[in-house]
Structure 1
Amino acid sequence: MNKIITRRVAAGVGLAGAAVMGVSALGTGAAAAGPVAGTTITKTLVDGTPVKIQLFDQSVNYQKSIVESFNLVREVWVSGKVRVTVGGKAEGGTIAAGYIVGCQVNVGVSSDNGAGAGVEATPSTSGSITTTPGAEANAGASLSLGPGQAGTVWLINTTDSDDDSVNDYTFTGSQGGVAYSQETFKVSNCGGYAEAKAKVKVTVDTGSVKGIVTLYGKPFSLG
């Protein structure tokens, strides 16, 4: 199991029976808050192993837009819970959770490609694909995006058994989960509208097959 290093470790409320990693950030009261609809997906791997991902109790707190060095900066705090259930011959899995963020693009429809680390490809209104190599950050940081660009903010920042930095959490057994509260990120250099949506990627290795199942949450506006 990965060695977990976080700023604070929260209890797995609402995730009874699951191996849970909790991520919590400190902050002051936000200007506005609202819930974000949950999402559930169930997939079956080619060897018949079922994988179920649930994203629930999700909410976003909005800070007022501020101007830093003449750049419009949007800051949000996100909270939510992820529960993963595996069956068959699976004995655990790995969870990577974060948010896809886009500037003047619709993140409601997106796809990954192999162009490089941290690349999120998002179709624009013209149908073309704009990718932003290296546009990723950990929670608490600022993501700089220009019009038509998209990037990823990762909620988990830990190290593995070799002390290498990773953005995922490994659990054992039939259930695992991640609970995060008031994790913050900023979007800068985006002069137009901005959107975000949760992304949860689960990797399961049964010995006979290695499968990846990805859940995308409902998109919401950053203003």
Structure 2
Amino acid sequence: MNKREILIAAATGATVVATAASVLAPALAGADTRVVLPSQTDTKRMGDGTLVTMSRSQERAIVNASVGGTPVHRNAAVSGQYRIRTSEPAKKIQLRAGYVVGCQVNFGGVKGQGGSGTIDTTPEPVEIKPSGGATFTLGPGQATNYYIVDTEKADDFGNEKHEPKVTWKKKDDVKFGYYNTQLTLNGCAGFAQARSIANVLVETKHATEYLVFYGRPFSLG
């Protein structure tokens, strides 16, 4: 099987640099394209002075742009690791990690999504309507979120409940990783892109903030 590798490089420090040709290089039909994305780290000071450091590392994707033998089917196996640290133990740290997937959507043109590892602060989690699964259909100009976290827990009646987030309590250093999670996109006849996203809630004794951490966009073909 034909394979090729795209390395999207990062400069020293938190600033990520890459040429547009490297970031959006199209996948070859019928060939696996291995995309290696840069590690990213940024620190945010909350209103009460607590420092929150978010890191994304070992992020990569293996893209096959011709699943089913037609140009409207794309598949990617994605992997990565997150680490969240706080300067003081937090009452709660909550992570919703996943990917924004778009059909003929320019992620690079959206404010706060430059891929430099910068943390955005918003009054609530940034969210496009969830796809509800790892396989989804998009038309031109459409995008969706797919969350890779699936936490099982019992509800108030003892029934099994699934949540797209993981929660830690009274911690100051937490980690989360995933390996070869499958994303399948159907119906997009034009160019398609994806980028990682992490919605993080940090709650301390005196403050609660939502932080959003975007990754570098990569081509699905």
TM-score, scaled to structure 2: 0.71
Q: Do the aligned partners of 1:32 and 1:61 also contact (CA within 8 Å) in 2?
A: yes
Query: What letter is aligned with 1:79?
Result: S
Which of 166, 171, 190 is residue 169 of structure 1 equivalent to? 166
Query: Any stretches of 5+ residues in structure 2 without a counterpart?
Result: 1-30, 113-119
- What is the distance in 1 between the residues matched to 2:59 and 2:135? 21
**Share of identical aligned residues, percent?**
30
Residue 195 (structure 2) aligns with: 197
SS in 1 for 2:183: strand
Q: By how many angstroms is 1:32 displaced?
A: 2.8
Q: Do the aligned partners of 1:118 and 1:152 also contact (CA within 8 Å) in 2?
A: no
**What number of residue pairs does the alignment pair up?**
175
Residue 14 (structure 1) aligns with: none
Gap change, CA 1:79 and 1:102, over 3 Å in 2: same
For 1:52-201, what aligned pairs fall within 5 Å after superposition? 52-67=53-68, 72-88=72-88, 90-108=90-108, 109=110, 119-120=127-128, 134-138=129-133, 141-162=134-155, 163-172=160-169, 173-201=171-199
Choose between structure 1 and 2: higher helix proportion: 2
C-alpha distance after superposition, 1:193-220 (max 9, x if no partner): 0011100111011132211111000111
Query: What letter is aligned with 1:180?
Result: Y
Gap change, CA 1:161 and 1:87, over 3 Å in 2: farther
Q: CA RMSD in A?
A: 2.6
- What is the distance in 2 between the residues matched to 1:161 and 1:207? 27
Which of 201, 206, 209 is residue 208 of structure 1 equivalent to? 206
TM-score, scaled to structure 1: 0.71
- What is the distance in 2 between the residues matched to 1:36 and 1:183? 16
C-alpha distance after superposition, 1:96-126 (max 9, x if no partner): 10001111011222679xxxx9952xxxxxx
Query: Any stretches of 5+ residues in structure 1 without a counterpart?
Result: 1-29, 121-133
Q: Do the aligned partners of 2:89 and 2:172 also contact (CA within 8 Å) in 1?
A: no
Gap change, CA 1:118 and 1:190, over 3 Å in 2: farther
- What is the distance in 2 between the residues matched to 1:95 and 1:135? 15
C-alpha distance after superposition, 1:139-197 (max 9, x if no partner): xx212111001101111012345243211111231111111110011111111100111
- What is the distance in 1 between the residues matched to 2:212 and 2:126? 16
SS in 2 for 1:90: strand
